[in-house]
Structure formats: structure tokens, C-alpha cells
């Protein structure tokens, strides 16, 4: 693996260069929160950002996307629509890079999804390391670190400082200000080269130097410190989860959480690995022109499993929650080679009634232990 040193000044010139040839999306601050948005200047970026409510998935698999346009009448016609621009996803956390790798497998499985694949081919990914908040549990599902799936990856130098002598066990009552990067922006970043494309763009737009052994050692030191900070954790190895979930079909846990679930689909909409969509037609008032488009769909919504005649394969919220959780920890493992939960904690942050995927999973683990 090749590492280059990139100073604060040069990272600004790198982003400026990218903006000449790409649309660049990265973490910005809005109303006190971090979110991904298109940027116009390197000054817009908030690189040492908190976890965002929505992942960068939206720039590869948009919430609404036209698939084709059509005309009726004497000369009917249909025209596929594939919108794919050169773009950079800048400042992507490791868990989201893992999520994108899973989506790559999904949308290239069998007959590949042309819209996604074309957009993915034109996308450069620049990752960055991060620190967990009280909802993150990526360490439990082995997505805390990433060694592929990016073109370049930024490691902030210096590392992590602890304030106020707080302990890790107190993290559930802390906000992000309790810990900081201890990062002197003048110290810059170590850039891990993931692809030749990333290396070429780094060379084209900025100046770097070879990283020293001492600087590279700091990456491992930071990861060790980061691993100590997780307040949320699943109580078994990730490889055990498919078997535990396979034995949980009749667990009373599902009825318990189903009673409080609103069925709003918020957890689906913020999940970086959910990929279900609905296909709809929109016909103009002249009845001769229209478009076919797809929109994100959610398995927690009541109509998701409803078919002709009004039959619903998952009538209750308990059944729909069970289905969603199993999609993350059991159903997809054999087909796509990995858990479909990357531990980002977004579903826990946004649930209106505080259903927590870690707590539910740990209850199922406890049940499994009692049966064995």
C-alpha cells in the first residue's frame, strides 16, 4: 500500500482541481448538522465531520430517478434515460465505503442495473477516517476499517485526544465535543492510494511527498485509540449473527418492538445498504407523453408486501421489523458475501421511538444463549 503526505494547503488545491473536472459532493455543516451536499469551494468541506443522517448512497442511487421517457399516439416511442456525470464523493467514512461495496455487488448481480453501474463508473471515492459517536457500532460488524473500495483515503495526522478524563463507558452520555481529533490542520493528512485513478488525480491536482515510517505508524496508533471509544457493541462475533437470526423467527422480541414501531420507514431511508425501490409512471395531461421513474421504497411501510387482491405477506409491524433485521444479518449473507449492516448507527439515530438495532440484536443473542 502506498502512502503520501498531503498538507492542509495542498488539500485545498487538490479539491479546487477536482472542482474543475467533477461535481464534488462532501460533508458540509447545515443548521448545526453534518450532511453530504455539492460543494463549490474547498472551504465548504467539513472533513472532520460527525456521522451524517443520510449516506452518500444518494449520489449513486438517487431517491428519485427517471428510467425512461415514452410517447403514445401514431408514432409511439420509448427512450431510456441514464444520467451519469463525473463526480467525486469526498470525505466518505469507512462504514459508508463498505456499504457502497455491497451496493456494487447488488446492482451488478444478474442483469446489471445500467443506471447505477454507469454512475458508479464515473464516481471517484475519497474516504476519510472518523471517530464514533454513541450510536456507531462498526467495530462489531468489522467495518471500522477499510482497505479497498476507495480511490484515495485520508488519514488525519496527530490522532485523538481525550478531554475531561471521561471513560469510554460514559460515552452514552457524551456529545461529540468530549472527544476531538487533536488534529492540527497544519499537520495535514496521510493519503492512502487505493487505485491508479486516485493516484493519477492526486498527482495532477496537487503536490505530495512520500510518507515517513513514523507518520505511517500513527495510522495504527489512531486505530487502536479509536477501537476503545465504542459505546455500542454487539455481544458476539459478526460471523455468528446469521445463525442467531435464523433461530429467532418466533422470538417475542419482534412483537415487543412491533408494538412501538410507527412503520414510518425512517430506518430504511437512512440506511446506506437499503436498495429497494418502486417503479411508477407519470403521464402528462395530454395523455401522449410520460416518464417511468423509480423511487426508494421501504419494507417497513404497510403496502410494501401487499399484492393484487389486497393480500399482504407481512401484515404487522412486527413481521416487517423481523424482515428488515433479517435482511441485514441473515438473508443476504450467502448471496452477496457479507452482512448488510455496516454499523453506521443511522437507524438508531433517526428512529422516532428509539428502536435500537444493537439492543434488539443483543436481546436475540441472549435468547439464543438460553436455548443452547
* Per-residue model confidence (pLDDT) at position 287: 86
> What is the pLDDT, as a whole number, of residue 161?
52
pLDDT of residue 49: 86
**Which among 323, 292, 326, 325 is positioned nearest to 305, based on CA atoms?**
323
Beta strands in the chain (DSSP E): 3-6, 23-30, 33-38, 64-71, 77-80, 87-92, 123-128, 152-156, 161-162, 179-180, 189-193, 209-210, 277-283, 289-296
Residue 234, number of CB atoms within 10 A of its CB: 22
Q: How far is CA 135 from the centre of its chain?
A: 14
| Reported pTM | 0.92
| Predicted local confidence at residue 32, as pLDDT | 85
C-alpha distance from residue 361 to each of 40, 234, 253, 338, 343 (Å): 42, 7, 9, 17, 12
Instruction: DSSP for 98-122, please give it.
Output: HHHHHHHHHHTSSS--HHHHHHHHT
CA distance to 78, 111, 195, 214, 287, per residue, from 65 (Å): 16, 19, 29, 47, 21
d(CA 164, CA 363): 33
Whole-number pLDDT of residue 158: 66
Number of H-type helices and E-type strands within the chain:
12, 14
Q: In degrees to the nearest 10, what's the CA dihedral of 336, 337, 339, 342? A: -90
Each of the 372 residues of the chain gets a pLDDT tens digit; together they read 899 999 988 999 999 999 999 999 999 999 888 999 999 999 999 988 888 999 999 999 999 999 999 998 888 899 999 999 999 999 999 999 999 999 999 999 999 999 999 999 999 999 999 999 999 999 999 999 999 999 999 999 865 554 433 433 333 333 333 334 444 545 789 999 999 999 999 999 999 999 999 999 999 999 999 999 999 999 999 999 999 999 999 999 999 999 999 999 999 999 999 999 999 999 999 888 999 999 999 999 999 999 999 899 999 999 999 999 999 999 999 899 899 999 999 999 999 999 999 999 999 999 999 987
Amino acid at each position: 500500500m502506498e502512502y503520501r503526505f498531503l498538507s492542509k494547503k495542498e488539500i485545498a488545491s487538490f479539491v479546487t482541481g477536482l472542482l474543475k473536472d467533477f461535481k464534488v459532493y462532501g460533508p458540509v455543516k447545515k443548521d448545526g448538522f453534518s450532511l453530504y451536499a455539492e460543494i463549490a469551494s474547498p472551504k465548504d468541506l467539513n472533513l472532520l465531520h460527525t456521522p451524517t443522517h443520510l449516506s452518500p448512497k444518494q449520489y449513486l442511487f438517487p431517491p428519485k430517478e427517471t428510467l425512461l421517457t415514452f410517447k403514445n399516439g401514431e408514432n409511439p416511442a420509448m427512450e431510456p434515460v441514464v444520467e451519469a456525470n463525473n463526480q467525486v464523493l469526498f470525505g466518505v467514512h469507512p462504514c459508508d465505503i463498505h456499504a457502497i461495496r455491497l451496493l456494487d455487488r447488488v446492482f451488478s448481480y444478474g442483469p446489471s442495473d445500467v443506471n447505477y453501474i454507469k454512475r458508479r463508473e464515473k464516481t471517484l471515492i475519497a474516504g476519510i477516517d472518523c471517530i464514533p459517536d454513541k450510536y456507531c457500532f462498526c467495530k462489531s460488524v468489522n467495518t471500522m476499517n477499510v482497505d479497498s473500495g476507495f480511490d484515495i483515503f485520508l488519514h488525519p495526522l496527530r490522532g485523538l485526544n481525550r478531554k475531561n478524563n471521561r471513560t469510554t463507558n460514559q460515552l452514552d452520555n457524551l456529545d461529540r465535543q468530549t472527544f476531538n481529533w487533536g488534529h492540527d490542520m497544519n499537520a495535514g493528512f496521510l493519503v492512502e492510494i487505493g487505485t491508479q485513478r486516485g493516484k493519477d488525480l492526486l498527482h495532477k491536482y496537487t503536490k505530495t511527498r512520500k510518507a515517513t515510517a513514523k507518520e505511517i505508524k500513527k495510522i495504527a496508533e489512531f486505530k487502536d485509540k479509536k477501537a476503545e471509544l465504542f459505546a455500542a457493541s454487539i455481544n458476539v462475533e459478526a460471523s455468528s449473527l446469521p445463525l442467531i437470526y435464523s433461530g429467532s423467527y418466533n422470538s417475542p422480541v419482534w412483537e415487543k418492538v412491533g408494538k412501538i414501531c410507527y412503520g414510518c420507514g425512517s430506518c430504511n431511508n437512512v440506511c446506506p445498504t437499503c436498495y429497494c425501490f418502486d417503479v411508477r409512471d407519470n403521464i402528462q395531461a395530454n395523455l401522449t407523453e410520460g416518464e417511468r421513474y423509480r423511487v426508494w421504497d421501504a419494507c417497513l411501510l404497510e403496502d410494501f408486501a401487499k399484492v393484487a387482491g389486497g393480500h399482504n405477506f407481512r401484515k404487522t409491524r412486527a413481521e416487517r421489523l423481523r424482515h428488515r433485521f433479517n435482511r441485514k444479518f441473515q438473508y443476504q449473507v450467502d448471496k452477496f458475501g457479507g452482512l448488510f449492516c455496516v454499523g453506521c448507527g443511522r437507524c438508531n439515530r433517526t428512529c422516532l421511538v428509539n428502536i435500537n438495532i444493537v439492543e434488539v440484536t443483543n436481546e436475540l443473542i441472549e435468547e439464543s444463549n438460553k436455548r443452547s
